[in-house]
Structure 1
C-alpha cells in the first residue's frame, strides 16, 4: 500500500531552519518555510535515520526545467500527482532525469566511446553517504530565500506542511515502512535559480533498496 497522498507543493522559499538535536530518538530534519496561496507551509526534509544504524544518503545536482514537465511551472499551491510516469511524479529509480541510468540499451557494457557519450548525456549520480550534519550542509546552499521551490512528498494530515520528502520505496520486508512502499511517489526538494535551472536535493536511507519491483518493494539480490 503506497502513501495515502502524494503531490507537489509550489511556492516561494521564506527561510529554513534545522531541528534542535535531542536524545529522544526523533528524526532530524531541515525545515523549509514555503509561502503559497493557502499560507506558509513547513516542509520537513529528512536528513538522518531515527536509529544510528540507519544512515542517510543524498544527491545534489542541477536539472533543466524541460525534464520536469508537466510540473516545471505549476500554479502556486499544493497539487496531487498521479503515481505514474509522465504525471510529473518523481521516482528516484525510474525517472530518466533522476536515475543513475535511464535504462540499459545494451545487454553487456557498451564500447568505451559509447559509454562516454552516455555519461555526458546522463552523468552517473552515485549516492553520497554521511552524517545528518553533512546532509544538511549539502542541502542548505540551494535554499536561497525568495527562490521558487517545488517540494515533492506527502502533505500533513493536519495543518500546512509536507513530509516524506525522501525516497518512499525499497524499505525492507518487516520494517514499519514496508506498507508505504510504492513507485512514482518519491520526495525531492527543488529550487529554481535565476537562470531557470533547478537545483535538486534527493535523499534516501541506507536500508532502502536501489532496485524495486512494480509495487516499490525491494527486488531480491541477483544470484551469484
Structure 2
C-alpha cells in the first residue's frame, strides 16, 4: 500500500547532523532539525544511501531557481504539518509532489551519487551540506515532504516513493513523493532525491499505480543517468527517450478568453532528432489533466519545429504544467510556468531546456 501519513511540513531549518560511512555503512541518514513556531523541535530523517544493495546510489536533482506553480500554494500555508494523503491536493496540479507527473525538474539534470567517498562534490553529503548551511544562515523557509512520524515529532520518506522494486514495491504510489523546497527572500530552490534502482516511468492508474512500467526490464534512473556512458551514447539515449520537446507556449493570447475572435492557446514542439517523428496518438496535458490529442497524421520532420493549437487543453494564466505524452501514454517531456510568466497578453512563454 502507498506510504502512510503523507504530507508537507512548513518550518524553519535550525541545524543538522549526518552519518558518515564510518558511522553507519548500511542505512545512514541526515537528520535535519527544524521548528515551526510550536514548542520543541522536529526532525526530518533524510536517506543518504539506498537500502538496495544491488545499487545503493541516490539520484539527486537540484532545481535552482525553482519556478513551478506549486510555490503559489505553498507560501499560503500556515507553519506546521499539513496532511495531504487522501485530500484534494494529492493530484495533478495539487500541493503533493510527483517526480514523474509534476514537471518539477528536467530529468536529465539528475546526478547519481554515492553516500560518502573521498574527494569533493562527488557524494550526496557534498551537495546537501552547503545547501542546508545556506538555508539555515539565510533563515529560509523549508517545505519538507514525506510521511509524518507516528509520534508527531518528525517526518521521513523524504524521497521518491514510486517505481521501487521488490520488497519496496508495497510503498509505491503516485502524488506522494518526498523532497524539500526552500523559500529564500528573493527566490526558491528545491531538492529531489530518488534511488538509482527506481523506475523512470510508472503506472498512472490502479491497480498498482506507481509501480514500474513495463513490469519487467524497465528503465531505471541508473540506466538513464549512468555516468559511465560516453557523451555520444548518452545523447543518443536521451534523444531516444525525449525525441520531441516543448519549447514555447502561448498561454495568454490577445483578446478575451473563450471568444470566437480571440487567438487560441498554442504549444510549440521541436523534433530534436535526425528522423521524422509521427505524432499520431500523442497528447498534450495541462495541470488539471485535460488533454488535447494532436491531429491524426501529424508529423515533425527532422529538426522541425511546429506550433499546435490546443483548444481542449486550456492553459491557466495562474501558472501551470504542460506535458507531452506519446501514443503509449508515457511522458516524453514536461514543463511548468508561473503566473508571473503569463502577465503579458500575447507574450510567448519560452522554456529553458
| TM-score, shorter chain, exceeding 0.5 | yes
The structural deviation recorded for 1:51 is 4.5
Question: How far 1:52 sits from its partner (Å)?
Answer: 4.2
1:200 maps to: 190
Q: What TM-score does the superposition give when structure 2 sets the normalisation length?
A: 0.52
Gaps of 5+ in 1: 101-123
Q: CA deviation at 1:65?
A: 6.3
Query: Equivalences for 1:37-186 in 2 at 5 Å?
Result: 37-38=37-38, 39-54=40-55, 55-62=57-64, 63-64=66-67, 66-81=69-84, 82=87, 83-98=90-105, 100=106, 125-133=108-116, 134-143=123-132, 144-145=135-136, 146-172=139-165, 175-186=166-177
**Corresponding residue of 1:114:** none
Q: So what's the TM-score if we normalise by structure 1?
A: 0.79
Higher RCO, 1 vs 2 (CA within 8 Å, ≥6 residues apart): 1
Shift of 1:97: 2.8
1:150 positional shift: 0.5
Superposed displacement of residue 157, structure 1:
1.3
Per the alignment, do residues 162 and 73 of structure 1 end up closer, same or farther by CA in structure 2, a change over 3 Å counting? same
Contact 1:57 1:129 in 2 (8 A): yes
Change over 3 Å in CA distance of 1:65–1:149 after alignment to 2: farther
CA deviation after TM superposition for structure 1 residue 25, in Å: 5.7
Q: How many equivalent residue pairs?
A: 195
Q: Do the aligned partners of 2:11 and 2:80 also contact (CA within 8 Å) in 1?
A: yes
Counterpart contact for 1:153–1:166, Cα < 8 Å: yes
- Deviation at residue 3 of structure 1 after TM alignment: 0.9
Root-mean-square deviation (CA, aligned residues, Å) is 2.0
Quickly say closer, same or farther: Cα 1:26–1:160, change in 2 above 3 A: farther
Measure the CA separation in 1 of the matches of 2:29 and 2:111: 17
Distance 1:137 1:189 in 2: 17
Q: 2:70·2:93 contact (CA, 8 Å) conserved in 1?
A: no
| More divergent stretch after superposition (201-210 vs 12-21) | 12-21
Deviation at 1:67, TM superposition (A): 3.9
**What's the CA shift string for 1:113-146, capped at 9, x where partnerless?**
xxxxxxxxxxx64320121131121122221212
